[in-house]
């Protein structure tokens, strides 16, 4: 394989290796030596000792993501050889994607909410794989059953925290299993999920946090589901968003033992808030109902003709509408598998996307234009060896203007690997229309329209250009509106434009958003009284199909001309020396004079003055060539300085505002300074939060200590006096300390019964304490398993109530247990049997030892099914420690043990009786 390797790859690896060596030398202050490093200069010459080898190796391994052999070379060139050999032997991935199944689940046509869809699939085939999650070199499969189960655990956790119906919960997680669980967890709990984007680059942290605060405030989120690693960000958000009660993690939510199933949700209920990526000012949350989402999914499904055997592949972030609805929810709805890669992995190694298509036999995938461009330019040839893209039948290109060059090059580059140009599908959509609005028919070569530049720029006319016109502009057809949607293109006076005349695009239909969340002004501005919605985009209609030409505020307006900045940006963004895609052109008022100026800003890694001058000159020349006028100003800035949206587009309007206020800076602040600035601004609230936390922590610890002391005292007293009253009193104190209340129902059934066996489920940790505190003194626990999960001191307190505790046996022998229960029944005790199952297990999964039933039958005692349910009492302010819980204990009517012959059947009946209450 090394022979077939393009020389370029070799050169690149060589460069990287040399760069690592140079870095090391520079760090040691040997800059001169660093300049002189060549592939064949020996390490000895460079004075790199054996100790540095390990360091160097580690760095190279880290940077190139390879593993070097232990045998060490003595020149960088030898290392390069070793790496190339290694690439050849690279082990295959461990996780394998099971290919999509031909046996389809029925389309959930009757489903009226997303929850219906999940429940229907999860019940029809819980073992069916829904999501393949690929990470670096491993993967994970998530089935419908697991998705439902985990989601209900998270819903339980949210209910535990006090989430109420229709409150918003932001989900700020990277592409991981947790995201999927959290999304449906919020829905099951009756909340509204708000996908928010997690921070990706430390260099932009300040911009990110400020932006995120705006989003969370606008959404009035109650809870934020985040992850542990970004604690600094979490805290800042926590103090800056007044509505936010708690920042939590999936692990914490899962820790709750409550499970919530599907409740009843109306189709008009909000399914989610989709924040527009916000290339314009204040972020706006698009409110989408279940009906919107389902209608849109059905529309897309009809357009791409989803069939069994389909499989979706996506690397799109899950907070974007295209990734979330257009990919994941689509695959969920049609019960086809989806393979998910993280966006960061894709950006690092674009070939992972294509390999995922190959391995999963993917048929549907979507991405914005830049992704296709990235694949064309950045994937080295040797990474594609053996790839087969013939299964790919729909490659949606949406979310960004579609560029002719990209589409052509992509189709051409990947044709040898089985990719068909017919698969490319330029589409148009926006969050306000859920996700998709217009789509061309599938299995058709993308339709291009060449139009003349002059009339287009001057009068907004899309006249066909003569073939070979060098200045012609090219636009792709985005097809017709999907089923249930209508579009119109209108001029300034709201009159319908004729064919081939550029105007504003309006749409209406069943998948139209409900409005912007808590923003009636913006809603009124976008949604007109007659139901038509402004898209803010320009385009024209030709042959019944829509051609997108640009956003409303985008055009560069200067000297009476309105020009599209797209070409300029694409050209400058691909210039060597400029960060890929990091260029923007806009017209703005001069900060001093107010005159209209054409400004170009671009990010570069260049450091020297000469390079700056060279780049500037080149940019001026390019712009002059493309637009016919030179830019008035060129800004070259450090990478990561220009403000961006969540999906990495430059926020042109914010940039313009910065420019007009004269605040555009050439270099970014270092991350630590950004964090310090943010912290300084929120100094007071942060300190207050810290104090409150520590107070709560101290309070919790005190509570534990005091209750432990109470328990030990009570336990000792009970042991000394052999009187269970002390236990009862101590238990009551402990429950009071933990703010746990209890209610007992049906105790009257026990009146007059000399002895009884109570079979209970276990709902919360403190259930045994409640039993000890609330029941008559003659109550006893059948076995030690009743104390599972209790604090050690509490378990010690209750131990004397366990039958045969003096025999000091952890689990009594079966025969002995039966005897003990019989003896206790003869002593007129109430024997409580808790399951030997995890605390909070659903009743159907509560497991009881048969001995209690046997003993009850022998003694002809009655068995009382007892339902226990612990729940949060009322909504609490902000401190978890103050959460008040109430435990309900309901003793139900007894079953006659003697009458039912089969004790196994009896056990089943009792379980049913407890379960009845819980249902």
Partner 1 sequence: MLSARESFRRHGILLTGANGFLGKVILALLAGRFPDFGQLYVLLRPKRRLSPEERFEKEVLASPPIQAILDDKAARQAIGRVRVLAGDVGQPGCGLDEETLPALAGQVDLIIHCAGLVDFYPPVDESFQSNVDGVEHVLDLARALGAKLLHVSTCFVCGEADGLVEESEPILGFYPRRKGPNDLGFRHDREIRYMRERIREAYAAAGVNGSARRPRELAQRLSDLGAQRAAQWGWTNTYTYTKSLGEQIIAGADDVEWAIVRPAIVEAALEFPFPGWVEGGRTAAPLVMMAVAGLRHWSIREDAPMEVIPVDLVASGILIVAALLLNGRAERVYHLSTADVNPIYFGPLVRMLHREYRRQAAVNGARFRPWRWLPAGVRVLSPEQASARGRRQQQVLNRLQSLVNGLRKKLQAAGLPGEQALRNLSARLRSAGLRIMIRDQALELYRPFMYDNRFIFEAENIRTAWAMLGEEDRRLLPWNPEKIDWRRYWIHNEVEGVRRWVQNEPGRK
Q: Tell me which residues touch partner 1 (CB under 8 A).
A: 50-51, 53-54, 57-58, 70-72, 74, 92, 94-96, 98-99, 123-127, 129, 141, 143, 145-146, 149, 785, 788, 810-811, 813-815, 835-838, 841-842, 844-845, 847-850, 904, 907-908, 915
Residue number with CB closer to partner 1 (469 or 807)? 807
Residue number with CB closer to partner 1 (375 or 833)? 833
> Distance (Å, rounded) from C-alpha 869 to C-alpha 779?
19
CB of 156 to partner 1, least distance (A): 14
DSSP string, 725-787: HHHHHHHHHHHHHTTEEEEEE-GGGGTT-SSEEEEE---STTHHHHHHHHS-TTEEESSGGGG
> Distance (Å, rounded) from C-alpha 211 to C-alpha 24?
38
CB of 92 to partner 1, least distance (A): 8
CB of 887 to partner 1, least distance (A): 21
> Distance (Å, rounded) from C-alpha 21 to C-alpha 8?
20
- Our CA dihedral for 538, 544, 545, 548, rounded to 10 degrees, sits at -10
Structural contact between residues 318 and 175, judged by C-beta atoms closer than 8 angstroms: yes
From 143, 101, 144, select the one nearest 123 (Cα to Cα): 144
- What tokens does 795 get? 């378990």
Helical (H) or strand (E) element with 604: strand 596-604
CB of 780 to partner 1, least distance (A): 19
- What tokens does 363 get? 């048929």
Report CA 467 to chain centroid distance, whole Å.
Answer: 47
Residue number with CB closer to partner 1 (482 or 803)? 803
Residue number with CB closer to partner 1 (443 or 902)? 902
Distances (CA, A) of 844 to 95, 156, 350, 766: 34, 18, 47, 21
Structural contact between residues 798 and 768, judged by C-beta atoms closer than 8 angstroms: yes
Residue number with CB closer to partner 1 (335 or 439)? 335
> Distance (Å, rounded) from C-alpha 289 to C-alpha 486?
19
Distances (CA, A) of 313 to 92, 271, 397: 19, 23, 14
CB of 142 to partner 1, least distance (A): 9
CB of 65 to partner 1, least distance (A): 16
Residue number with CB closer to partner 1 (345 or 836)? 836
CB of 143 to partner 1, least distance (A): 5
Residue number with CB closer to partner 1 (687 or 809)? 809
Cβ neighbours of residue 602 closer than 8 Å, sequence gap 6 or more: 572, 573, 578, 579, 582, 583, 584, 615, 619, 634, 635, 636, 637
Partners of 450 in beta bridges: 474
User: Could you give phi then psi for residue 312, rounded to 5 degrees?
Assistant: -100, 145
CB of 792 to partner 1, least distance (A): 12
Residue number with CB closer to partner 1 (643 or 835)? 835
Residue number with CB closer to partner 1 (504 or 784)? 784
Burial of 760 (C-beta count, 10 Å sphere; 0-12/13-18/19+): buried
Residue number with CB closer to partner 1 (126 or 639)? 126
Residue number with CB closer to partner 1 (532 or 917)? 917
> Distance (Å, rounded) from C-alpha 278 to C-alpha 196?
12
CB of 646 to partner 1, least distance (A): 31
CB of 190 to partner 1, least distance (A): 21
CB of 845 to partner 1, least distance (A): 7
């Amino acid at each position: 394989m090394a022979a077939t390797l393009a020389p370029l790859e070799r050169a690149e690896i060589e460069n990287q290796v040399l760069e690592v060596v140079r870095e090391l030398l520079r760090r040691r202050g040997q800059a001169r030596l660093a300049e002189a490093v060549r592939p064949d200069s020996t390490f000895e010459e460079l004075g790199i000792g054996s100790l540095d080898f390990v360091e160097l190796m580690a760095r190279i391994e880290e940077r190139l993501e390879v593993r070097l052999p232990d045998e060490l070379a003595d020149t960088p060139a030898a290392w390069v050889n070793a790496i190339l050999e290694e690439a050849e032997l690279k082990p295959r991935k461990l996780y394998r994607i099971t290919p999509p199944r031909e046996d389809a689940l029925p389309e959930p046509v009757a489903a009226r909410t997303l929850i219906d869809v999940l429940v229907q699939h999860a019940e029809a085939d819980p073992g069916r794989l829904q999501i393949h999650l690929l990470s670096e070199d491993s993967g994970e499969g998530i089935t419908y059953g697991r998705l439902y189960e985990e989601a209900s655990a998270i819903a339980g956790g949210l209910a535990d925290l006090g989430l109420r119906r229709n409150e918003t919960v932001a989900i700020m997680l990277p592409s991981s299993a947790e995201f999927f669980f959290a999304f449906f967890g919020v829905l099951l709990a009756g909340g509204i999920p708000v996908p928010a984007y997690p921070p990706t680059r430390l260099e932009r942290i300040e911009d990110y946090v400020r932006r995120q605060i705006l989003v969370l405030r606008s959404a009035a989120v109650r809870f934020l589901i985040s992850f542990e690693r970004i604690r600094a960000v979490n805290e800042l958000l926590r103090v800056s968003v007044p509505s936010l009660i708690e920042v939590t993690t999936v692990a914490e939510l899962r820790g709750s033992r409550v499970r919530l199933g599907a409740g009843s949700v109306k189709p008009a209920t909000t399914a989610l808030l989709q924040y527009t990526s916000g290339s314009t000012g204040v972020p706006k949350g698009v409110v989408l109902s279940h009906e919107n989402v389902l209608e849109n999914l059905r529309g897309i499904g009809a357009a791409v003709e989803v069939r069994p055997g389909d499989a979706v592949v996506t690397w799109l972030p899950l907070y974007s509408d295209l990734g979330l609805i257009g990919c994941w929810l689509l695959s969920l709805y049609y019960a086809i598998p989806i393979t998910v890669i993280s966006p960061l992995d894709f950006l690092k190694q674009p070939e992972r996307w294509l390999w995922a298509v190959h391995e999963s036999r993917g048929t549907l995938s979507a991405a914005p234009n830049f992704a296709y461009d990235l694949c064309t330019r950045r994937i080295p040839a040797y990474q594609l060896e053996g790839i087969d893209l013939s299964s790919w039948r729909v490659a949606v290109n949406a979310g960004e203007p579609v560029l002719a060059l990209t589409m052509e090059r992509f189709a051409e580059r990947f044709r040898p690997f089985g990719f068909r140009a017919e698969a490319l599908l330029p589409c148009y959509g926006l969050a306000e229309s859920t996700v998709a609005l217009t789509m061309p028919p599938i299995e058709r070569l993308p339709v291009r329209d060449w139009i003349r530049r002059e009339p287009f720029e001057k009068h907004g006319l899309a006249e066909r250009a003569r073939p070979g016109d060098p200045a012609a502009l090219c636009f792709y057809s985005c097809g017709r509106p999907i089923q249930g949607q209508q579009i119109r293109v209108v001029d300034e006076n709201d009159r319908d434009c004729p064919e081939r005349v550029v105007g504003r695009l309006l749409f209406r239909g069943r998948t139209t958003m409900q409005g912007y969340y808590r923003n009636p002004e913006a809603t009124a501005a976008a949604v007109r009284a007659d139901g038509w919605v402004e898209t803010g985009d320009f385009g024209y209609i030709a042959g019944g199909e829509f051609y997108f030409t640009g956003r409303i505020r985008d055009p560069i307006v200067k000297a009476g001309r309105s020009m599209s900045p797209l070409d300029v940006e694409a050209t400058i963004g691909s210039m060597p020396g400029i960060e890929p895609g990091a260029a923007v052109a806009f017209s703005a008022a001069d900060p001093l004079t107010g005159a209209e100026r054409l400004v170009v800003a671009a990010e570069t890694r260049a450091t020297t003055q000469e390079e700056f001058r060279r780049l500037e000159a080149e940019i001026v020349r390019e712009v002059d060539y493309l637009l016919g006028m030179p830019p008035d100003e060129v800004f070259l800035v450090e990478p990561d300085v220009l403000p961006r949206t969540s999906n990495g587009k430059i926020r042109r309007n914010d940039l313009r505002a910065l420019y007009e206020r004269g605040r555009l800076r050439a270099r970014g602040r270092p991350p630590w300074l950004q964090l310090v600035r943010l912290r300084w601004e929120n100094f007071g609230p942060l300190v207050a939060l810290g104090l409150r936390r520590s107070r709560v922590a101290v309070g919790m610890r005190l509570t534990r200590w005091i209750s432990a002391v109470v328990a030990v005292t009570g336990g000792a007293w009970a042991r000394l006096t052999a009187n269970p009253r002390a236990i009862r009193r101590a238990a009551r104190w402990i429950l009071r300390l933990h703010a746990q209340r209890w209610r007992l129902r049906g105790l009257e059934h026990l009146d007059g019964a000399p002895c009884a066996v109570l079979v209970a489920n276990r709902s919360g940790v403190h259930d045994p304490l409640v039993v000890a505190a609330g029941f008559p003194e003659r109550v006893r626990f059948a076995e030690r398993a009743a104390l599972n999960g209790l604090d050690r001191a509490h378990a010690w307190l209750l131990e004397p109530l366990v039958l045969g505790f003096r025999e000091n046996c952890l689990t009594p022998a079966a025969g002995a247990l039966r005897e003990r229960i019989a003896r206790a029944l003869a002593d007129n005790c109430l024997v409580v049997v808790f399951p030997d199952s995890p605390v909070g297990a659903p009743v159907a999964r509560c497991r009881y030892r048969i001995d209690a039933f046997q003993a009850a039958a022998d003694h002809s005692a009655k068995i009382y099914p007892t339902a226990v349910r612990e729940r949060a009492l009322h909504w609490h302010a902000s401190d978890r420690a103050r959460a008040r819980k109430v435990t309900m204990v309901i003793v139900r009517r007894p079953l006659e043990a003697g009458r039912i012959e089969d004790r196994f059947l009896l056990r089943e009946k009792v379980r049913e009786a407890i379960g009845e209450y819980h249902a």
